[in-house]
Amino acid sequence: MSRWIIALIIFSVIIFAVEFYAFQALKALTKSKVIRAVWILVAAVIYAYFLYILYVTPRSAGQTNAFQLATGFMLTILIPKLFLVAFMFGEDVFRLFRKGYSWVSPGETAVFESRRTFVAKIALGLAAIPFASFIYGIVQGRYNFKVLKYQLTFDDLPEAFDGFKITQISDIHSGSFTNKEKVQYGVDLINEQKTDLMLFTGDLVNNKADEMDGWIDIFKTLYAPYGKFSVLGNHDYGDYVDWDTPEDKVKNFQAVKDVHPKIGFDLLLDEHRYIEKDGQKIALIGIENWGKGFNQTGDLQKASEKVSKEDFKILLSHDPSHWEFQVKEDDFNYQLTLSGHTHGLQMGIEIPGFFKWSPSQYIYKQWAGLYQEFGRTINVNRGFGYHAFPGRVGIWPEITVIELKKGVKSV
């Protein structure tokens, strides 16, 4: 209990500091007591609601939609205020110099006051951008599905698979969904790609198998002529819930695994399958979750048993840190790895082909899109669904289409 009290105190101090400095910008622009009161009241209600939801939601419930909503409200008002903090804190530092300067030149005080008002206007204007973005991200962005297409060339790809197309989806997080029409649109968009093979790289649910109950009929309509294959993600193990008994957790985990065949996916549990075409084949290898700082159940060696080093291999591994720490330098040569997990933190800035930034990059070296090292490639899918924050800001839900091409070896 003392740990929670300490966390609450730290949380309160941080929030107070942010709100105090943000309020300075408002004070510089208006003397209206009504506007100031509304500003304080809205913030107080949102923080109180977040703490209330945190208090009344038992750990056995997992992450509820109410928790996501409370988190969304809090981040929507908190993140923009960080812009205000940066400006107003800087202004306070400047005021220290102003005090000293005013002793020398008293007549310059009005100039400094005018400057403070100007800074407050700039700060509020800039803060309005992330505020509007977060509102859009919650209302529309979480279902703003994007199809990203890549063409990858490999010298050792069997000729029969030249032009072979793969759809990758990841991180469905069905327990977060609230709009069947939007989810159906996303699933239809996946099928519209008409690719040869469909691969799902984990996190079917947030915590519990029954989160998929209302979505099975939609996701079982996914189709690919060469099959649909999947692996587990860290959330599929039920590790983030306080279960009444260990047996309940075991039953839930089995139930999560049982959902995969219900939606037509062959779940690979440290296993491999061969995909054959015109007498040639590629190896599809799927491991259980392995992540730095997360569940490390996956066994790459076991999954690769009876696979030849000379085979062209596609590895399904939920967490990209597995590629960084175990896969990319492995001389067994896993030519292509497909991962998810990061969601790109569901917020950032992307200008395709020019610029890509998200706080996620400070946690994961490979956090979204394609990366190549040691002659091997990984694609990190940004996720189909969303988690914790009920929206997406700049980092949109992703459907990946990869076309494999046969390269020509130089003599």
Q: Are 278 and 223 in contact (CB under 8 A)?
A: no
Q: d(Cα 334, Cα 331) in Å, to the nearest integer?
A: 8
Q: What are phi and psi of 90, to 5 degrees?
A: -60, -35
What confidence score (pLDDT) does residue 306 get?
93
pLDDT in tens, 156-189: 999 999 999 999 999 999 999 999 999 999 999 9
Starting at the edge strand found earlier in the chain, the sheet holding 266-267 runs: 146-154, 398-406, 165-169, 197-200, 228-230, 266-267
Find the length of the chain.
411
Handedness of CA 366, 372, 373, 375 (dihedral sign): positive
The beta-strand segments (E) located in 144-231 are 146-154, 165-169, 197-200, 228-230
CA-nearest of 169, 257, 268 to 209 is 257
- Which amino acid appears at position 378 of this protein? I
Local confidence band at 126 (pLDDT 50, 70, 90 cut-offs): confident
Q: With a cut of 60, say whether residue 107 has pLDDT above it.
A: no
Q: Are 367 and 123 in contact (CB under 8 A)?
A: no
What tokens does 262 get? 């219900």
Q: Which residue has the tokens 């720490």?
A: 325
Burial of 285 (0-12, 13-18, 19+ CB in 10 A): buried
Q: Are 244 and 212 in contact (CB under 8 A)?
A: no
Q: d(Cα 403, Cα 164) in Å, to the nearest integer?
A: 6
What confidence score (pLDDT) does residue 24 get?
81
pTM: 0.91
Distance of CA 223 to the CA centre of its chain: 25
Local confidence band at 347 (pLDDT 50, 70, 90 cut-offs): very high
pLDDT in tens, 359-384: 999 999 999 999 999 999 999 999 99
Local confidence band at 123 (pLDDT 50, 70, 90 cut-offs): confident
95-to-13, 27, 84, 119, 221 alpha-carbon distances in Å: 23, 16, 16, 12, 63
Q: d(Cα 106, Cα 97) in Å, to the nearest integer?
A: 13
What's the chain's average pLDDT?
91
Distance of CA 233 to the CA centre of its chain: 13
Q: Name the CA radius of gyration of the chain, rounded.
A: 25
pLDDT in tens, 27-58: 878 889 999 999 999 999 999 999 899 888 88
Beta-carbon contacts of residue 158 (< 8 Å; ≥ 6 apart) = 277, 280, 281, 282, 312, 406
* Domains, the chain: 2-139 (no CATH), 145-406 (3.60.21.10)
Reduce the DSSP state of residue 357 to 3 states and report it.
Answer: strand
